[in-house]
Amino acid sequence: MEQIITRFPPSPTGFLHIGGARTALFNWLYARANNGRFVLRIEDTDEARSTKESTDAILESLEWLGIDWDEGPCYQTERYDIYKTYIQQLIDNGHAYYCDCTAEDVEAMREKARATGKKPMYDGKCRDKGLPAGENTVVRLRTPDTGATVVEDVVKGATSLMNSEIDDFIIRRSDGTPMYNLAVVVDDLTMGINHIIRGDDHLINTPKQILLYQALEADLPVFGHVPMVLGPDKARLSKRHGAMSVGEYKNMGYLPDAMLNYLVRLGWSHGDREFFTRDDLIELFSLKALGKSASMFDMDKLSHINAKHIQNSDPEKIAGHLIPFLAQKGVTAENDEFTHGVIGTLQARSKNLVDMADGAFFYYADSIEYEEKAEKKFLKPAAVEPLKKSADYIDALESFDEKNLENAFKQVMEETGLGFGKIAQPVRVALTGTTVSPGIFEMILALGKEKTVQRIRAAADYIQSRENSTPE
């Protein structure tokens, strides 16, 4: 069986957005699911608009998503000699010809066609002139006058276009550079691409590309055109719907595996299942499950999927993504046991890594600043004794685990006659500066004995110094 080879060919005229990332994902998954190959090609023939910044951003986004490639990145601007060879082949075998019609000439042809109720198109004026190459000549493909070009699509089914509706389109500009359709077909042909999955906005180009394959006497790849992603209002996805670059979602604290999970569900399904790991997707993905209807982008659903992935991921895996967010808050953290413990206390309550970094900040702080409301309510003189006793009993623990922590607090409760809440809340404020945190025991275990004891004693000292400095 022929090895499956897919590709993703972004144009570096902007950043990688949701639609492009989904296309890359579908092609990558299909290759990985079938032990195939995935090729990355940068279509940079629009040299006026293509930038290194966009190229770098696209590569960075793909790397963040974990979409790796087996070949590339290949750049079209480095392949002009290859295109030139294939264009000359088409001219030599009579499938293409030089044309010296001006833009004004072609527009006049279109106006004449419109006037007679026909489709406005080039009329083939230079087809049989046998013109040589010239300074102002383009190259056109000689398309069939009769019959139809059929697109066999694994998603949409078969569609056809009468060849009389396709004019002799340009495959090379007058400056010698290739047109999009020619470059794409030559690239796919020479790179061995045999499966092309892309958005259905490209379907308009497919009949022309099929004609180029036929003129080159080459086998056709398998085509699959997936419906576009729409906003909640069923309009084409735009920035107002959340159609930001992939890099922006990274900066908002989404996990790459959550993005993959959400992106794949924009046009692919496996029953009613919503949650998939990366390995799940590679195992289950198939072209047969691609949908024929447009998908709706939903930020709330993305956030829900992200929260599920945070909850279900290994803390060590999350740490690598969290550390840059902590760094933005001035925290130097390592991918170590301490950070893993911190993450473990926050996974159930974090929707994204921004939330998690906010929640993790107190663990790394050198000193705790108490929120005014929390201080007034819980750091009162009556809290000094239970705080000191809590610190003493925790400090005395030989085995620092949850069971022994519970026993330590029970001893404080017995000696002070206070309920657990009356002790735990002052301790919570002492450790975090706030009244909201993970569970008291899991938080203490993550924070560690030394920091816990130091902070509790510091809070007791703070209360006493504050009282001593209060004027009588």
DSSP label at residue 245 = B
Q: Do the Cβ atoms of 266 and 19 come closer than 8 Å? A: no
CB 257 within 8 A of CB 66: yes
Question: Long-range contacts for 49-57 (Cβ within 8 Å, ≥24 apart)?
Answer: 49/13, 50/11, 50/12, 50/13, 50/77, 51/12, 51/13, 52/12, 54/12, 54/13, 54/14, 54/15, 55/12, 57/15, 57/16, 57/245, 57/247
281: part of which helix (H) or strand (E)?
helix 278-284
> Using N-to-C axis directions, what is the helix angle for 353-364 and 315-328, rounded to 10°?
80
Give the whole-angstrom CA distance, residue 243 versus residue 229.
10
CB-based contact 121:110 (threshold 8 Å): yes
Cis peptide before 324 (omega within 30 of 0): no
Local structure of 178: helix, strand or coil: strand
Catalytic residues: 239
